Chains A and B, each alone.
Chain A
Amino acid sequence: MSGWYGANLILVQNTFIGLVLALSIQFPMRMGVFSFTGAGSYGLGAYLAAILVIDHRFPALAAIAAAMAVSLVVSVLLGLLVQQLDGLYLGMATIAFCLIVSVAATAGGDLTGGPTGRFGAISDFTSGHIYVIAVAALLLVALTEFGRVGRRIEAVREDPELAAAVGINVRAYRLAAFAASGLLGGCAGAMNLLARTTITPVDIGFSLVILALTMIIVGGIRSWKGALIGAVVFTWLPELLAVVGKWEHVVYGALVAAAAIWMPGGLYGVWSDAKYRYRVGRRKAPSGADRSGPRTGAPELRTVGEGVAEP
């Protein structure tokens, strides 16, 4: 067991770091905020951590904290700037933000190391740190799926006007989405830098946005479970596909496309749909309303009379 673990250590680490990155984009999506600020914060966090650790000898945890703090501020500012936007336009604007971060990284001269990036960030960071931080982040995000907070988040996503009418401060919730994605993204980026000891502009940028988006779309956007599934799948998939040799990229693209086409709720959606159907199949339906049906990943048509969780 420990032999396998040691040989695949980097992949295990990447899975946890990828999870935090995926959460940074999934959490806003759950609120209906189509924002990629998490990916930009990842870049900011990674470079900031690099500068602090290499140039100023910060200890690992302090660097992570600083990266998270700065990303928080930048994300909230960004959130304030783009308040008016929605849907794909918001997505575009936040993608532009990510790209601006990567251009700044390339053009940053000696501070960011230009196209080579920064390397040599040796610190007291261990895998244990990664696991604990990632799980803590996961717990916090998962907790927001329950109780009043969970219901309000659903409301803000499904029907913002109604939510506002009921007294929920929609604007504050949406800003909170930006704040959270900043914290999570900055954390993931800093952890990545500390684990890999190097960061280059190639690592942060459009391909990062695509990776994060793919993770949560294929994993499932409605829940942290989707983010977890996505992180695991996409960290290990290239490894598994290496067997296919030169056709690895074709198969990868085909799998992503297939998941996007046939699994709108992501893998988690497929699983929870199956679970639901199994439960309903086992139970003989009495008079209609099945209130304890779980939320599934797939969007459903709500018909009057069939109960699903109310706000």
Chain B
Amino acid sequence: MNANKLPWWRPVSVVAVVGALLAASACGSGEGGGAAGPESGDGLPPVVRVVSTNPVTGPAAQNGIAANEGHHLAIKEINESGFLGDTTIEMEEVDTAGDSQTAASELTKAITDDSVSAVFGAVQSESAVAQAPIAQNSKMPIIFTQAGSDGVVIGEYTFRLTPTMNVYYPILSKFMKEQGWKTMGILYTAATPSLEMIGEETLPAMAEELGIEVVSSVATQGSTQDFTAPISQLLKDDPDGVAVLLIGAANPTAMTQLRQAGYEGAVLGSAAAASGVLDPAGEDGAGMVWPVGYHPSMEYEASQKFTEAFREEYGEDPMFNSADSYDAAWFFARALKRANSANREDIQKALDEIAAEPWTGALGENLTFTDRILDVPGVVVEKTADGEKLLYYASDVEE
């Protein structure tokens, strides 16, 4: 073969391949209009299938694993109690590995699988934002938890059981008032939209209402690891109080370096510091306070029931992700019962119906949905030397 001349079969094979692909794309199940899911028939089939797409590996692994645990616990209860009669729910867990493209592609696979009735969406905002349009266009009911960003609940097939953080963050005002601060500084990361919004809009608005002056506002990037310089900026004008809105290891680092810089007071934080994230800071971590949708010490009957069941199943206290996802699975199960069908369209209608009624679950009692997002009032939690302490409920805050 003369290496310089194009052999005849090359262009032919190329044309053949392209032709095959065009044919496949034309007659294949196509761009998401296709699979209808289970049939709408009489009653529920013996097995209903749901897929959970969550990060089990990657930076959000802890949250993804906790979410799956919550789903799993609820489904176990539903099956064992015969809530759906003879029907059982079967959940398949798929790892998104923290990657949005994987999340999108796993969702597409679930959509083309005719036996899948619904999907539990990814907890990470970036992944959720990639999944939402696909689920909506393909008419697949998808229930998200966390994923607090715009572009997630975009149509009648998308639901979310946690509001965006800026909705319940203001319950911290009571704490801020009790501290008696006159000035404060805000240190926040611009890498997460929810924390960026809190740092730039929500918290300053709360401060203004309480008559607190924000004397320093320092934004950092996701890649910042040493906070010495940002903290020195934060404390430059000697504020009475401080807010630290960061993710992951930045929380214990900032607390450690804050104490080293001489600040001993309370610190406003976020749920990103919950459940062991602050442990590497040891004693320096104590004193951080944040609002969160769920805490094991919540006293509502349904919450306590969940907390005990979780402790018994897994031997440790549940994270808020687990409470969110537990309620999500029950939300789905109630819709199944109401619809008496495993068909996706029927389930969507049933979800809407249930969302129109008061909701009681691990997240609270008689909660309401607004535009398919659950309004969770939340509680305020403080990190202490040996764990977390529940300070007060949203309902304790006088308007």
Contacts and interface: CB of A to CB of B under 8 A. Distances in A.
B97 A238 contact: yes
Dominant SS among interface residues on chain A: helix
Given A135-B14, A197-B133, A246-B56, A309 B3 contact: yes
Contacts of B97: 238, 248-249
Given A7-B112, A292-B1, A2 B27 contact: yes
B109 A7 contact: yes
A128 B25 contact: yes
A2 B102 contact: no
A278 interface: no
Given A6-B112, A119-B129, A135-B14, A14 B101 contact: yes
A1 interface: yes
B350 to A, nearest CB: 26
Interface string B225-261: 0000000000000000000000000000000000000
B179 interface: no
A115 B192 contact: yes
B222 A10 contact: no
Nearest to A248: B57
A116 B34 contact: no
B112 A11 contact: no
A128 B22 contact: yes
Contacts of B28: 2, 5-6, 9
B45 interface: no
B151 interface: yes
Given A14-B101, A116-B125, A295 B26 contact: no
A5 B24 contact: yes
B105 interface: yes
A70 B84 CA distance: 58
Interface string B67-109: 0000000000000000000000000001101001110110011
A243 B241 CA distance: 50
B346 interface: no
B94 to A, nearest CB: 8
Contact of A198 (B21, B100, B113): B100
Interface in B163-193: 190-193
B24 A2 contact: yes
Interface residues of B, number: 50
B130 interface: yes
Interface in A142-168: 143, 146-147, 150-151
A251 interface: no
Contacts of A200: 100, 126, 129
Nearest to A138: B14
Interface string B106-118: 0011001100000
B156 interface: no
B196 A115 contact: yes
A67 B192 CA distance: 27
B46 interface: no
Contact of B21 (A2, A131, A151, A242): A131
B151 A131 contact: no
Given A135-B17, A196-B104, A116 B25 contact: no
A135 B151 contact: no
Interface in A172-209: 196-198, 200, 202-203
B3 A295 contact: yes
Contacts of A295: 3
A311 B113 CA distance: 55
A116 B1 contact: no
B210 interface: no
Nearest to B108: A10
A51 to B, nearest CB: 16
Interface string A1-39: 111011111110010000000000000000000000000
B62 interface: no
Nearest to A16: B21
B30 interface: yes
Interface in B1-59: 1-6, 14, 17-18, 21-22, 24-31, 34-35, 56-57
Given A9-B31, A119-B130, A120-B133, 19 more contacts: A5-B24, A10-B105, A114-B196, A115-B192, A116-B129, A116-B151, A126-B31, A128-B21, A128-B25, A128-B26, A131-B18, A131-B21, A135-B14, A139-B14, A196-B100, A197-B133, A198-B129, A200-B126, A292-B1
12 contacts: A2-B24, A5-B25, A115-B190, A116-B125, A116-B150, A117-B129, A122-B133, A127-B21, A127-B31, A200-B129, A292-B1, A295-B3
Top 3 closest pairs, chain A to chain B, by CB: A6-B29, A10-B105, A2-B28
